[in-house]
Structure 1
């Protein structure tokens, strides 16, 4: 993408966010993770909403990625979200981390131990929706430019001392309208939730701030629901997060 194409993509996505109108796709697909991240950052400036959280991916092989989540779309559980806000109604049950101290940008990468000491842990539901009509049909880098097709975050209770938890092996239960859809031990896509927080701390050019949250990968896949549905994810020893989609 040229500089002009990056700027045009950011303008299109910003307008879609502000108007609530969905688009078919971008005129040009980003050719790198860095370009997709640059589009996200420009959209955030154009829209002018504070960023309170991130989604982060840290594949064992591959480039780490992140998506910005607006503060206004972070809700405490039990939460209600309107279909008008999140029209695709996708849900991902996840383990997230809240930074309890600033981790400013620096040349030396932060270690796992440093990041682990700087975060509390909490259960969350990432609500998935997009500025695209059919988001899963778009190229992965277009989805990433649209903040990883994130729409919001529902946060459960926070645990400051989580050293006794074996996070990759937590017992997870996912229920919809009172019916258990998934019940198993483990299920994080890389079996390493904290890796996403480490990756984020080392990706952000301006560092991360105390109070910001990073969610680190779905334990439930990505099911889509309908107005009126109530979705709950529960992690043994950690707690639960719940969202209801209002029509």
Structure 2
């Protein structure tokens, strides 16, 4: 078993069992190529279909070592939660591991992307937007310190993703330049932010199209793209509830539960 396969096997075993890890299971990847090789091995070993991708910014402190503006991680079919207005998504996280919620704009992909094309920009991806939604990324890993280790570690463990909540559609997103958002946990405000539609969500979609093409794959119609945090990364505990208010559009609520066997 290669080092990449060993690391991925230990992460996926912990996720499947719903248990935490005391430390990174091996040497954290030092390059993007190493990190995405571990991610690919983990995807191959996980018994569920990839139904989308999470996107996050690379912390500028790590830009020299990981020279890309964003990173991606898979979102599996069982972890895509679609909720209507007024409904609450129930989302598991790993007890003793990392757990956070992030208010995000979620894009549903309109059509299969052409193979090999890797020069998409925020101005050219519009044909791939079926719809935009208000939503939430539920970030969780068996390793509590995953984010602290850096982007390579994050990429290697499914991008630290364990859920994408797809809320109500943003019907007039074409006319919006920005969107104001506020996040609450158990009723207390924990962060506010503003997202610019073109460099934000549309830029994240372009990055994902290009990254998957670089990896020899494409996005498919119906894939969901969680495009990056707006109000911050907010630590959350099992039993807590978050509420994410998107001004003029609506809100999304998430109830945090404990991941059990098979990660659910």
User: Structures share a fold, TM > 0.5?
Assistant: yes
Please say if 1:203 is aligned against 2:242: no
**Distance across 1 between alignment mates of 2:125 and 2:166:** 20
Please say if 1:155 is aligned against 2:166: yes
3-state SS of 1:227 partner: coil
3-state SS of 1:29 partner: coil
**Distance across 2 between alignment mates of 1:246 and 1:19:** 15
Task: Give the alignment's TM-score, normalised by structure 2.
Answer: 0.81
**Pairwise CA distance, 1:171:** 1.7
**Distance across 2 between alignment mates of 1:108 and 1:27:** 32
**Aligned equivalent of 1:92, options 102, 110, 113:** 102
Alignment of 1:164-243 (within 5 A): 164-166=175-177, 169-183=178-192, 186=194, 192-204=200-212, 205-243=216-254
8 Å CA contact 1:86, 1:129 repeated in 2: no
Query: Which runs of 5 or more structure 2 residues have no equivalent in the other structure?
Result: 259-264
**Distance across 2 between alignment mates of 1:83 and 1:11:** 19
**Distance across 2 between alignment mates of 1:174 and 1:58:** 19
Deviates more, 1:218-227 or 1:65-74: 218-227
**Pairwise CA distance, 1:108:** 5.0
**Pairwise CA distance, 1:160:** 5.6
3-state SS of 2:181 partner: strand
8 Å CA contact 1:79, 1:154 repeated in 2: yes
**Distance across 2 between alignment mates of 1:207 and 1:161:** 27
8 Å CA contact 1:57, 1:66 repeated in 2: yes
Q: Are the structure 2 counterparts of residues 16 and 232 from structure 1 closer, same or farther at C-alpha, using a change threshold of 3 Å?
A: same
Query: Which runs of 5 or more structure 1 residues have no equivalent in the other structure?
Result: none
**Distance across 2 between alignment mates of 1:106 and 1:143:** 26
Query: In structure 1, what is the equivalent of residue 147 of structure 2?
Result: 136
8 Å CA contact 2:97, 2:144 repeated in 1: no
Higher strand share: 2
**Pairwise CA distance, 1:81:** 2.2
**Pairwise CA distance, 1:83:** 4.9
3-state SS of 2:125 partner: helix
1:72-100 CA deviation, whole Å, 9 max, x = no partner? 01112321124558964311111121101
3-state SS of 1:22 partner: coil
**Distance across 2 between alignment mates of 1:228 and 1:31:** 35
Query: In structure 2, what is the equivalent of residue 37 of structure 1?
Result: 36
